[in-house]
Amino acid sequence: MSPRIFGILLFLLALLLFAILDASAKYLTAFYAVPFLVWARYAVHLVVMLVAVAPSQGRALIATRHPWLMVVRALLLCALTLFAQLAFRVLPLAETTAIVFITPLLVALLAGPMLGETVTRKSWLATL
C-alpha cells in the first residue's frame, strides 16, 4: 500500500473516530455534567500519554521553550471541548456538526493576521 493511500485511510479513520467522539459526547451529556465529561476526557488522555508515550519520550514530552504558549493552547483546547459539549447538549448533533464546518473559513481568515501567512486564491477556493 502506498504511503499516500495509507495516509488517506488514517485520516478517514480519524474522521470516523471524531464522529464517534461527538456522538458519544452528545449521548453522555444527557446523564453527566459537561464539566465532568471534559475532565474525564482529558484525564484519560493524560493516563494514555503517561503509559504509552512518556516511557519512550521522558522529559522531552513536556520540554518547551514557550511554556506559556503551551498553557494557553491547552486552556483553549479545554474551552473548545467545554463549549462544544455544551452545544451538543442543546443542539441536534447534525446541526452542531454543520456549524463546525465553518472552521476552515475561520482558519483562512485568521491565517494572515495571526500567522503572517498569505492566503492565495487557490486556498480561498478550496476553503469555500
pLDDT at res. 111 = 85
pLDDT digits (tens, 9 = 90+) for 20-62: 999 999 999 999 999 999 999 999 999 998 999 889 988 888 8
The mean pLDDT of 72-95, rounded to a whole number, is 92
Looking at the chain, the whole-number percentage of residues with pLDDT higher than 70 is: 100
The mean pLDDT of 91-106, rounded to a whole number, is 87
Helix axes 67-90, 93-100, angle to 10 degrees: 140
Q: 2 with 72: CB under 8 angstroms?
A: no
Helix axes 34-48, 67-90, angle to 10 degrees: 130
Residue 13 has pLDDT above 80, yes or no: yes
Rounded to whole angstroms, the Cα distance separating 33 from 85 reads: 10
